[in-house]
A and B are shown apart, each in its own frame.
Chain A
Amino acid sequence: MSAVDDVVTEGQAVEAVPKRAMTLGAGTSLTVLALLLVIPFFAKNFIIFQMTMLLIYGLAVLALNILTGGSGQFSLGQSAFYAIGAYTSAILMEQYDVNYALTLPVAGVLCFAAGFLFGQPALRLSGVYLALATFALATAMPQLLKLGFFEKWTGGVQGLVVTKPDPPFHLPISQDMWLYYFTLVITIAIYIFSVNLLRSRSGRAFMAIRDNEIAASAMGVDVALYKTLAFGVSAGITGVAGGLGAIAVQFVAPDSYTITLAIALFLGMVVGGVGWLPGSIVGSAFIIFVPNIAESISKGLSGAVFGVLLFLVIFLVPHGARQVAIVSQQMIGKFRKT
């Protein structure tokens, strides 16, 4: 218990900086945005596909970041919500011919409900116990999806193949590029929503709970409501990411959403910096590209190489990308003064 609490407290020590520090400066944001907008014009379809996955996992990491960085609750069960979102989109698209864009809000709302409901019993748990309860959710999900009862809709072990949407209005761009910009718009919308959420009254309530539950309730924060709300919002965003993931990968199957995914998302959050929203995209890049780098170094020992790289990151920059960002910002500041 204490070990995990320590991690949380340590995270807080950095997070106690003003809320502004949760985001990037306007200049940096615009540069990143411009890069995200322009790169696809110079990249192969495969790179565009990878960038789409980068945004999608970025969203899922962001969702976890709101939960853990915002309200201080742990979750190793994000893969379950991701799976629900993915299956919702896939089933609606393939079995009921719903337009892909319309399946995303449904996935989001459904996952919000699932997360909110799961948040109720989770109220009684905290720290490692909560992590374990969510872990159970993640391990149960693939088996639930295989159940014969749901097979009519889920396709059982075989999974479902999803049709990739064509660009609308006969735009002269490839399917991959269209999907990328579609994902980018949704990602930006959710990012702005998240930043505003954390800056709002609710966001302050989340952080008050994270920092000290008793003090928060003494100040009149409805602890139970806001904790479950954080779970719901996080699950909802994860669900949208899952739906987008299903469309981009064109396939859903129980084996896609195992505990490995949940751990990868958790890892992405830590590497990106707990509680620092822009870090989500860095964390997402880490979980997508570093395994490939590890594999190119040694095929047989890819797991070990990945472990070493991860260890180096955690050892050198324990607060992840946010630490790098802060240090470089300070250095630029000094440079400007001199």
Chain B
Amino acid sequence: MRSCRPRTAALAAVAFTFASHAALAQKKYDTGANDTEIKIGNIMPYSGPASAYGVIGKTEEAYFNKINAEGGINGRKIKFISYDDAYSPPKAVEQARKLVESDEVLVIFNPLGTPSNTAIEKYLNTKRVPQLFVATGASRWNDPKNFPWTMGWQPSYQSEAHIYAKYLLKEKPDAKIGVLYQNDDFGKDYLKGLKDVLGAKSTMIVAEESYETSEPSIDNHIVKLKAAGVDVFISITTPKFAAQAIKKLAEIDWHPLHILSNVSASVGGVMKPAGFENSQGILSATYVKDGADPQWDNDPGMKKFYAFLEKYYPGGDKLDASVVYGYGVAQTLVQVLKQCGDDLTRANVMKQAASLKNFEPDTLLPGIKINTSPTDYAPIKQQQMMRFKGEKWELIDGIMSGELTH
């Protein structure tokens, strides 16, 4: 896989030379780009309830500093303007308008949070400003027909659920599935994803239990699932409840096959507090390389990532999944801008973002490729199953596609 990368790069380089020769006479720009600079806007919750994700914005800024230090993109420097919305939708609208109308950016890149992105989606699509690679897992961002200026990046919750359902159909076709899910769009997206793949076999789900984030404990839901004779427990939970569930399972000595949503697959945040001895054998899925995993120490992609951290973002924690994420998504944007050549119009940015072919950012698992098309606005669709063993996750099986196969 990786051996073919230099060739792709060479091909791309040739393509650029062609493109730039052809376009030499006709450099095209929209607001936010000129001969020396490309302005990129961004909105992050640096304060407020989701401020832990602010690290993503800082990583991106550091990554663009690196690109600028290395000469920029086709000779143009990136100017990255990132504002705080405190995870509040009205504030996100204000900041998006400020970026578009006052700072006059070319694109709004990687704004974070489902509510904030929903709030600015219509505005940006009316203004025809790209809302590129939004940082949320909701499935609604892949809708090029109605929102041609909005594109996601990470695998959606539904596509992750597709992978679990496919895995179960293959490995345990007689499973009696019990689902515990959070009663919001996050939980419901997963549940829909499971049922979409199971289709006629949806009867495999013998019990569904939903919980509210306001509930102090989810013990009774777990007891109910056990009583329903469940032998595959799918836990669509956020970290706090995921850890509670793992503990409760051990407490009542119940050992079903346990599948945990990627959101909560954090070693430090969930497995450790729940107890490593209770977490053995839990399954989940992922698409990025784990910065803590020594198996990547000699991986060329991760070596670049570690070198970047050392030189441009010494404060960044390589164990933090947000840093790995920010690096990958920033690299994807740089690829899109490279492909744009000298035609830096908003329409061309979307066109190039919708024609990524087998692009592999450094921090994604080997074999996971970004592919998009004018009708496919979901850049990452593949993930790999993993099993918790000892004190870390071990990748199992191969790369799986989260796309629905009919």
Interface residues of A in 138-164 (CB under 8 A from B): 143, 146, 148, 156-159, 161
Given contacts A44-B102, A146-B184, A260-B48, contact A158 B88 (CB under 8 A): no
Q: Is A251 an interface residue (CB 8 A)?
A: yes
- Where chain A touches its partner, the secondary structure class is helix
Across the interface, do A158 and B185 meet the contact criterion of CB distance under 8 Å? yes
- Judging by beta carbons under 8 Å apart, are B214 and A260 in contact? no
Most buried by B among A45, A50, A157: A157
Measured as residues with beta carbon below 8 angstroms from the partner, the interface class of chain A is 20 to 34
Docked CA distance A258–B45 (Å): 15
Nearest chain A residue, comparing its CB with the CB of B113 = A255
Interface window among B24-32, B79-87, B316-324, B369-377: B79-87
A286 at the interface (CB under 8 A from B): no
* Contact of A303 (CB < 8 Å), options: B47, B82, B123: B47
Per-residue CB contact flags for chain B residues 115-159 toward chain A (1 = under 8 Å, else 0) read 100110111000000000000000000000000000000000000
User: How many residues of chain B have a CB within 8 Å of chain A?
Assistant: 30
List chain B residues, Cβ under 8 A from A158: 114-115, 118, 185
Instruction: Name which of B89, B90, B119 has the most chain A CB atoms within 10 A of its CB.
Output: B90
Contact check, A255 vs B83: say whether CB atoms are below 8 A apart. no
Write the nearest CB–CB distance from B183 to chain A, whole angstroms. 7
A46 in contact with B90 (CB, 8 Å): no
* Minimum CB distance partner of B185 in chain A: A157
Residues from 269 to 316 in B contacting A, C-beta threshold 8 Å: none
Assess whether B94 is in contact with A251, with CB atoms less than 8 Å apart.
Answer: no
Whether B88 pairs with A250 at a CB distance below 8 angstroms is: no
Assess whether A245 is interfacial by the CB under 8 Å rule.
Answer: yes
Give the Cβ gap from B125 to chain A, nearest Cβ, in Å: 11
- Which chain B residues (154-195) contact chain A, with CB distance < 8 Å? 183-185
- Judged by a CB distance under 8 angstroms, whether B400 is at the interface is no
Contact B101 A45 (CB under 8 A): yes
In the complex, what distance in Å separates the CA atom of A256 from the CA atom of B88? 5
| Chain B residue contacts of A156, Cβ below 8 A | 184-185
Q: Which of A44-95 contact B (CB under 8 A)?
A: 44-47, 49-50, 53
| Bound Cα distance from A265 to B97, whole angstroms | 23
Is B46 part of the contact surface with A, judged by Cβ < 8 Å?
yes
Q: State whether the Cβ of B357 lies closer than 8 Å to any Cβ in chain A.
A: no
27 inter-chain pairs at a CB distance below 8 angstroms, sorted by A residue, are: A44-B101, A46-B97, A46-B100, A46-B101, A49-B94, A50-B94, A53-B90, A53-B94, A143-B214, A156-B184, A156-B185, A157-B114, A158-B118, A158-B185, A159-B118, A159-B119, A161-B122, A249-B89, A249-B93, A253-B119, A255-B87, A255-B88, A258-B88, A295-B46, A299-B84, A302-B46, A302-B84
- Which residues of A are at the interface with B, using a C-beta cutoff of 8 A? 44-47, 49-50, 53, 143, 146, 148, 156-159, 161, 245, 249-251, 253, 255-256, 258, 260, 291, 295, 299-300, 302-303
Q: A159-B115, A256-B119 are in contact. List 16 more A-B contacts (CB 8 A).
A: A44-B102, A45-B97, A45-B101, A46-B98, A53-B90, A156-B185, A161-B118, A249-B90, A250-B119, A250-B123, A255-B115, A256-B115, A260-B48, A295-B83, A295-B84, A299-B82
| Cβ-closest 3 pairs across A and B | A46-B101, A251-B119, A256-B89
